[in-house]
Amino acid sequence: ARAQDKTPLALAFEAIRGSHTDAVVVPEGYRAQVLIPWGTPLNARASAWQNNLAMTPEQQANSVGMHHDGMHAFPLDADSGSRRFLLALNNEYIDQDALWAPQGGPTQPDGVRPADEVRTEINAHGVTIVEIQRQDDGGWAHVVDSPYNRRITTATPVLLSGPVAGSDYVKTRYSSDGTRTRGTNNNCANGYTPWGTYLTCEENWPEVFVNTGERFSDDARLGLPTDRGRYGWETAAGDDEHDDEFARFDVTPGQGEASEDYRNEARTFGYVVEIDPYSQAVAMKRTALGRFRHEGCWPGPVRAGEPLTFYTGHDSRNEYIYKFVSAARWDPADAPEPGNEADRLAIGSKYLDEGTLYAARFDEEGRGEWLALTPDARTPSGQTLAAALGLEAGDAAGIIIHTCDAADLMGATPMDRPEWSSVDPVSGEVYFTLTNNSKRTEDGTEATFTNGGVAVDAAGVGFATAPTNAANPRANNENGHIIRWREENDNRFSWEIFVFGSDVDAADNRSGLTRDNQFASPDGLWYDDRGDGQGILWFQTDNSDNAVAEYTNDQLLAVVPAALGAGGGSGSVINADNQDQLKRFAVGPNGCEVTGIFATPDRTALFINIQHPGNWPADGDALSQDATQAASGKVRPRAATVAIWKADGGQVGL
Ligand code: FEO
Ligand code: CA
Ligand code: CA
Ligand code: CA
């Protein structure tokens, strides 16, 4: 239970107004600094950033990737981690205009792509591992040439692990035994494990592939393009040694055996990927956690002798929330000291390769149930799940390959685009952002409205429309909401809506939001657990084209859940009686999304990411600078991490 006898933390900053500037805005008394923007050299093999720098495969492979998203810090000092840590950072996708700005854009963006441009774009995706240190002036800097610095890109060899590994579903010409693939990409949000590894999640990966022939049903469900990949990577010519370097992105089936072509290549994507930030070990795709457009993967409470739990969501309209429960029970001896030589991925195999994947069904009256996606599970019509999917009995790999179909058949609840999650391990409350849904209607009939001009996804694939339900109660939910639940026995849970996004003037402002906290499209989220029932819930937005966007750029908000008291009669925990507890803490620059979040263990510095800014940061030549300074002219935009701290050295937010 929550430590109700304690006085809850009190947010001590003045909520800031919304803004539209080319700067990061923070409350009075705070400093904000740009750290490791895209293209920052990680080692001496990359030359210093310049605004007219021509990016090359080599340069990009040795510098920070593009479009920062989820991230996590791993201490390099068992005592602190508050001064020196490894930052593991997702580089979700690319802005081709910024990447190729000196030459005026990509060469033939719609034709045959030059090989080195494609190699560069591939190297701009994936994950960056970089050592970060606090400076004497309170600011932060990365360590050039740290032995830990490395990149994992869409070209880096990766191992498959768990039920899909070695199955016929993933045999390709590159890996005839179905145990390996190349790369991870469109790494959106993240997670971490109690044994000191990073989890990076493959979200919009279908779009870099193309299939001009007969698609697998899972290709169609996940929106794999049928005419051209997102960047046309498949059109480039590989060299003699690696003739499949780019051809692998065209997964059209050939005439021969599956292991002679790349029809199965896309089935080696769509996973949670585990990386040991402390070593150079080959990353592993943990297939037991399901295959879909994974947003992120967040650990539940960690208790000795109990199974581990990880929550993960499929960010598409009317897709599902999942949880994975490990077969192995947690042994605290499996948490190595930071930075030692332990084989962390072997520990990962113990907990992440065997277990049960569940999909969530949210019922009326705040009730819910986890539905096991196992081959022998019985669907509501009484068939085994394997039989209902047309699979061989016991085909655990097939269930994973068709995770979304399995969840359909078991009766999971279609959600309003599940994004981030975070768990308060003391209260047991699990928070989940549901960003928005333009395909939610009162009765499930085909939507005729557009939301922000987008009625179909980027690949031109329309997602099925679904009717409103108790947990997703708003038709054309353009502002999104945050839901939370508590686990109960027998795979049951109880849930409630935490807050509904809205603009202040909307008739449907169900949580009573004001000018100081109106928001829409919640996405990033982090409960800053302090181990004693105290903590701040931070959340971030990825919004556009609505009344909230007219008021402000994307933002970071904060609330102390323990200070809210019992929910009121408005239908959400935050309501007209306590809405003043939710405060806007930061606003990002024009064009950006605010995403990715953690604080140092001593809470004196908070780190966030600014993704796809339009005209920021102000001084592109500097590695670090004042993020609150706006550009005077047009700059080559660069996603970056921003460090925020209090000028007086106190805890952020308090
Ligand atoms: Fe990459 Fe669902 O955000
Ligand atoms: Ca994004
Ligand atoms: Ca997101
Ligand atoms: Ca989003």
**CA 188 – ligand 3 centroid, Å:** 6
Q: What's the pTM?
A: 0.96
What per-residue confidence (pLDDT) applies to 5? 65
The pocket of ion ligand 4, defined by CB under 5 A, consists of 523, 542
- Residues contacting residue 175 through CB under 8 Å, at least 6 positions apart: 160, 181, 268
Q: How far is the CA of 420 from the centre of ligand 3 (A)?
A: 7
pLDDT tens for each residue of 175-193: 999 999 999 999 999 999 9
What distance in Å separates the CA atoms of residue 17 and residue 4, rounded to the nearest whole number? 32
- Cα separation, 203 vs 503, whole angstroms: 28
Q: How confident is the model at residue 4 (pLDDT cuts 50, 70, 90)?
A: low
Q: Is 319 in the pocket of ligand 1 (CB under 6 A)?
A: no
The residue among 616, 647, 610, 643 whose CA lies nearest residue 629 is: 616
Residue whose C-alpha is closest to residue 249's, from 186, 165, 161, 190? 186
**pLDDT tens digits for 297-323?**
999 999 999 999 999 999 999 999 999
* pLDDT at position 376: 98
CA 430/CA 570 separation, integer angstroms: 21
Contact 424, 525 (CB under 8 A): no
**pLDDT per residue as tens digits for the range 276-302:** 999 999 999 999 999 999 999 999 999
How high is the pLDDT of residue 624?
A: 64
Nearest-atom index, ligand 1, CA of 417? 2
Cα of 483 from ligand 3 centre, angstroms: 16
Q: Which of residues 451 and 93 earns the better pLDDT score?
A: 93
Over range 585-602, report the average pLDDT: 98
Cβ of 22 less than 6 Å from ligand 1: no
pLDDT value at position 450? 41
Share the mean pLDDT of the chain. 93
Does residue 207 line the site of ligand 1, with CB under 6 A? no
pLDDT confidence tier of residue 336, bands split at 50, 70 and 90:
confident
Per-residue pLDDT of 482-527, as tens digits, reads: 999 999 999 999 999 999 999 999 999 999 999 999 999 999 999 9
Find out whether the beta carbon of 219 lies less than 6 Å from any atom of ligand 1. Answer: no
The answer, yes or no, to whether residue 447 has pLDDT greater than 80, is no
Residue 6: per-residue pLDDT: 78
CB of residue 92 inside a 6 A radius of ligand 1: yes
Q: How confident is the model at residue 449 (pLDDT cuts 50, 70, 90)?
A: very low
Domain regions of the chain by residue span: 30-646
In this model, does residue 457 exceed pLDDT 50?
no
**Helical segments of 427-535, H only:** none
Each residue of 122-146: pLDDT tens digit?
999 999 999 999 999 889 999 999 9
The confidence band for 620, taking pLDDT boundaries of 50, 70 and 90, is low
C-alpha dihedral, 299 to 304 to 306 to 311, nearest 10°? 0
* pLDDT at residue 632 in the model: 83
